[in-house]
Amino acid sequence: MRWFKTKKTAIKKLAIRPPKPEPDRRGIAIAVCVKDEANYIEEWVRFHRAVGICHFIVYDNGSSDQTCALLRQALDADMLTIVPWAGQMSDAGEDRLIDGQVVAFAHAILNFGGAFRRMAFVDADEFLLPMRGKTVEEALAEVGDFPNVSLPWHMFGTSGHKTKPKGPLALNYTKRASDPLSNEEHVTNFKCIVDPCEVIEVSVHQFKTREFGDLTANDAGKRFSRRARKSREFYSNRFLQLNHYYSKSEEELRAKIARGSAYAVSKQQLEEKMLTTMRHIEADVVEDRAMIEFLERNGIDLR
């Protein structure tokens, strides 16, 4: 969920004062913004429960389907926090839109962050896939206590599906863009896992921490500046891979474009962006069965 450029660039970064850690803080929580994700949200939650996520902080942008009901069915009450999060905000003085996802992430850190050792900030079409170990915590062992981890997108397209296939998303989509650090437009970006009690600046794709500023680590624990994480030396998926199921089937891609975005100025801009992204994803794809192999190896059934 994003705002595109209007006459003035949207506000996409917020400075915060980190919360104090609670004495018994533990585990990894996910903060996520959703709207009408009923088709896949149960699978997404079940997978992330299986890889050790202990709490889900869900910002609901006015869903009109069964998204929230499915979340409540899938999770015990002590594992789920749903925050109503519809509407738009702007800076009254400068008439600049404020990115609602950034505000949600800042809110999650300030109000819930003290209870967790780490927080992951991903979307409902993004899966944190351990490549080593069974859980996200085990996959982050090489990172140690470093408070800021950046994971590059691994962008999956349609995998040849014209219409929505039967069965789990994770089993049906196995073809992704070959280069996670491509220079092509809209294909390369990162999502982050952070120690919320160290964060001093929040945005959707990057964070700053109190001691280390904009230094961030890859999944192997190697530290780079925010800008340097786009270098070839930064790339690693040895321990933890971020799968971004961008389009799903052609049918679902067209439906997503037709719906538009609550944060976009026009459907035309959204369509241009999505079609450009898809063209770059599918220009050069590789078969990636790491998700299927992980599920089989660990006896996880998402059906």
pTM for the model stands at: 0.95
Amino acid identity, position 191: K
- Note down pLDDT in tens along the chain; length 303 residues: 443 444 467 899 999 999 999 999 999 999 999 999 999 999 999 999 999 999 999 999 999 999 999 999 999 999 999 999 998 899 888 888 899 999 999 999 999 999 999 999 999 999 999 999 999 999 999 999 999 999 999 999 999 999 999 999 999 999 999 999 999 989 999 999 999 999 999 999 999 999 999 999 999 999 999 999 999 999 999 999 999 999 999 999 999 898 876 554 577 888 999 999 999 999 999 999 999 999 999 999 998
H-only helix segments in the chain: 41-50, 67-74, 100-112, 136-139, 169-172, 250-259, 267-281, 290-297
Q: What angle do CA 240, 241, 244 make, to 5 degrees?
A: 150
Give the whole-angstrom CA distance, residue 147 versus residue 223.
11
Give the whole-angstrom CA distance, residue 19 versus residue 42.
30
Strands 240-245 and 148-156, sheet pairing: parallel
* CATH architecture designation of domain 14-297: Alpha-Beta Complex (3.90)
Give the whole-angstrom CA distance, residue 243 versus residue 230.
17
Asked if residue 201 lies in contact with residue 13, where contact means CB atoms within 8 angstroms, the answer is yes
Burial of 182 (0-12, 13-18, 19+ CB in 10 A): middle
The tokens describing 282, both together, are: 């599918």
Map out the domains of the chain as residue ranges.
14-297
Asked if residue 195 lies in contact with residue 215, where contact means CB atoms within 8 angstroms, the answer is no
How many residues are there in the chain? 303
